[in-house]
Chains A and B, each alone.
Chain A
């Protein structure tokens, strides 16, 4: 149901990975920081502090290029586990205000606070409290946007970056958007932007005043969407909990893997991670897909479908290895290996099976291992065959 007068907050943690590194090591605060893979290891920038951005460093830029722009930058390999842990803490704080939260990514979330006024005050006040608490309690800077829908809340937080809080008052939606360049609008990529420029459109306000039929003629179905967005209209609802379509893990190696033994070892690790996440979602999957990227970047994906859904590491791994062995040729050099499970169905909660005693045992084993890792950390328990196999990010 879509109702009038919605109030949404979008929160984006500023230069998240870099900010966490500043927290962990206060001595480097304020300096240009780049979190990402090493330049010799064909790494890319995952996150850059604002001090580094001043030199033109951007996310997803090859690290080598970033270091040429800003040679004095501090390069940190980063630790995804710590970042997810801190991200969880932020999400937990947000949950104190509303259960209607859509986690957009590790450093971004949308909150629907419609109807929360009597509890927490107006949306703007909630946003201000959240921003202050995230800074005081977790030490992280953030940008927030408050508006009547997802589109505007997200664009508002973007405009306020870094450290801003921008409110789009009800009725001011189109006015807020009008002066912004069309490139900022959701769904307008470089190609669409170019075609809009050709029509003489630079600002979103100009786009809003193009005739709808012209837009539809020019862009098809997207034309109608662009028109609605240009007027700040977006009825899409929050999806507080997204059912994943597939669950998987992949890893790019700093040096190519050249032996089947090595690849299998890493595949086992990836299957264990994927299996654990699958169980965490209380899902089972039937299709196992293995992804292999060669040193020349050609990528191959191969799938196999099991007779019935599973969430067991061993079953996933057996199938993945089967696929790998079929595709493996001596002399292969792999830079990336990935495994994913799709064709997901929810696990029947605890319906005990008549047959399959082996699977019941494996299932108990997986759950016991999950619990130990949950309590004592991922490193608490490891397969002997995986000793020393892990690489840092």
Chain B
């Protein structure tokens, strides 16, 4: 293998695929990034066997070939180089990759490409096209509710439910739930439900945000995988994210979303976020408990009060204007969950629908019917 490419491109490509490298793996080859020539481009791949990211970038290929290079060293080395041309040459006899850029040279020990897992690439006919901005927002708003601990693997994924002209994405970690739907440009031939690891989706969202190109998605028949394909612009070649699907039954989340409420509180999203952040400064020393008090106004605007008390630190009370429909009430939430959802809402106002202090609170961005977020309250005694 012998080729030349630009330092900026290689650095960018390594940053994209590098996120899939699993440094904790017991397989040494998974600590590496695959470099391979592919149709007059340089292909980079990395995987933790669950998620795999591949990208192609423009390069001048002088000799075909492939190898795998330790990710950490390669990334750090390439990032330290000046923005000039890099020459790469694999010395097969010594299993060493020779790199040269301006007046810097290096030799890095490699592992044979044969040892790297086979990575599926390419899009099938039965593809679904998604708009990058809508997809990025959807992924961001939904995956924040996915579980990060592995104790219940199903909940580390998001349920993608394709029905005719609509995709609904849902995730829940046992205490909160996020559901967002988006229209599809073409209806799916048949309804389909899959559970995609949230981590893989977050990678897709990150790349989609940067590239701004439509995202194509395939669920290859008879394979328990999903493949996202982004045309990719800046790099000169496409980017693909392949992920194993999670098997099992996702909990029936629809029955959890309350259909009625006693109190509906509409507030400015940014003010709510600011008040929640201040409350958390105190709440973080008291199990993150933030108390919300909704007070309807009589002929004037009502108010939402956020309060937090930490026995050994101090306390805080903040009030914001609110339009309140229904009766006064008090409810407590984990302040971190409040901040997570308020950070992810783009609309100017947010509505919080509540019924009792021990039933779920429903958050809806005002003017956006497609998103709903549910948080279970914290029980407040006395």
* Residues in A lying within 8 Å of B, measured CB to CB: 286, 307-308, 348-356
Contacts and interface: CB of A to CB of B under 8 A. Distances in A.
11 contacts: A307-B151, A308-B151, A348-B287, A349-B378, A350-B379, A350-B381, A352-B377, A352-B379, A354-B172, A354-B360, A355-B251
A349 B360 contact: no
Contacts of A348: 287
Contacts of A349: 287, 289, 378
Contacts of B381: 350
B376 A353 contact: yes
A164 B10 CA distance: 78
A307 B156 CA distance: 13
Interface string B148-191: 00011000000000000000000010111100000000000000
Contacts of A286: 151
B381 to A, nearest CB: 7
A355 B376 CA distance: 10
A353 B378 contact: no
Given A308-B151, A308-B152, A354 B380 contact: no
A354 B177 contact: yes
A353 B381 CA distance: 16
B358 interface: yes
A351 B380 CA distance: 9
- Which of B177, B251, B287: most chain A CB closer than 10 A? B287
B287 A352 contact: no
Given A308-B152, A348-B287, 11 more contacts: A286-B151, A307-B151, A351-B376, A351-B378, A351-B379, A352-B175, A352-B376, A352-B377, A353-B175, A354-B172, A354-B176
A295 to B, nearest CB: 38
Nearest to A305: B151
Contacts of B275: none
B334 interface: yes
A140 B171 CA distance: 60
A349 B175 CA distance: 13
B362 interface: no
Interface size class of B (residues with CB under 8 A): 20 to 34
Contacts of B151: 286, 307-308
Contacts of A355: 172, 174, 251, 256
B343 to A, nearest CB: 20
| The 4 residue pairs across chains A and B that have the minimum distance between CB atoms | A350-B379, A308-B151, A352-B376, A349-B287
B374 interface: yes
Contact of A350 (B251, B374, B380): B380
Most buried by A among B151, B152, B358, B360: B151
B189 to A, nearest CB: 32
Interface in B324-382: 334, 358, 360, 374, 376-381
A349 B256 CA distance: 22
B380 to A, nearest CB: 7
A307 B377 CA distance: 23
Contacts of B175: 351-354
B170 to A, nearest CB: 12
A349 B176 CA distance: 16
B335 to A, nearest CB: 12
A63 B171 CA distance: 62
Nearest to A347: B287
Contacts of A351: 175, 334, 376, 378-379
Contacts of B172: 354-355
A349 B335 CA distance: 13
A352 B174 contact: no
A213 to B, nearest CB: 42
Nearest to A307: B151
A276 B116 CA distance: 51
A350 B287 CA distance: 9
